Amino acid sequence: AQTVTQSQPEMSVQEAETVTLSCTYDTSESDYYLFWYKQPPSRQMILVIRQEAYKQQNATENRFSVNFQKAAKSFSLKISDSQLGDAAMYFCAYRARTGNQFYFGTGTSLTVIP
Amino acid sequence: GAVVSQHPSRVICKSGTSVKIECRSLDFQATTMFWYRQFPKKSLMLMATSNEGSKATYEQGVEKDKFLINHASLTLSTLTVTSAHPEDSSFYICSADPVTSRGTEAFFGQGTRLTVV
């Protein structure tokens, strides 16, 4: 079965600084998607960024970028110029292209210090 | 962006009663919807996959007779917690795949906090 591991239960960052959240996964599939979701206190899951495994180029969305290392099965999220509104729980997720199910990591709680 | 509406957002019910939670895709059709359960400060655990017009597929350990899922249309799936007990208190989240997305994205409802007293 696929597993997603987030080894950092909690992280903190100073406002305007950069932080990197780690994620590793295990799969025997060659074609899949990886996601980072943000869950603020409202509990609404919000898509931050998505990476397609067959694309070598790392995905970028404004201040958010990923470092996708397919061979190492690593998918880290970098948040630049951190803002107070970035404070939330962040979940890494995996989804096989041929499957339906999301596999979520255990989450990283990010605190932004003013 | 696409919107998934989940209702109610909060519900308190008495032990032994049943509660229905609705998950609607407001501006797209979804052949597949998913139901998750989330304990405090924990990850989302998939409970079942709901397919329009067919029976839901439940994950191991999830009682299908307790958590009834109906997906009667391309825009609506419901989760009914039957004979609820305090241990069923949790946060329930649905997600839906647009028919056209082919798995590239899913949209989540805002969740339902169920408290059984």
Q: Decide if A45 and B104 are in contact by the 8 Å CB cutoff.
A: no
Q: Decide if B106 and A97 are in contact by the 8 Å CB cutoff.
A: no
Q: Decide if A97 and B93 are in contact by the 8 Å CB cutoff.
A: no
Per-state percent for chain B, helix, strand, coil, to nearest 5: 5, 50, 45
* pLDDT tens per residue, range A70-82: 999 999 999 999 9
Within 8 A of B46 by CB-CB distance, chain A residues are 101-102
* pLDDT tens per residue, range A47-92: 999 999 999 899 999 999 999 999 999 999 999 999 999 999 999 9
Within 8 A of A109 by CB-CB distance, chain B residues are 41
Contact B89, B72 (CB under 8 A): no
Residue B17: what residue type?
T
* pLDDT tens per residue, range B48-62: 998 888 889 999 999
Token pair belonging to B97 = 């795949």
Q: What percent of chain B has pLDDT over 90?
A: 70
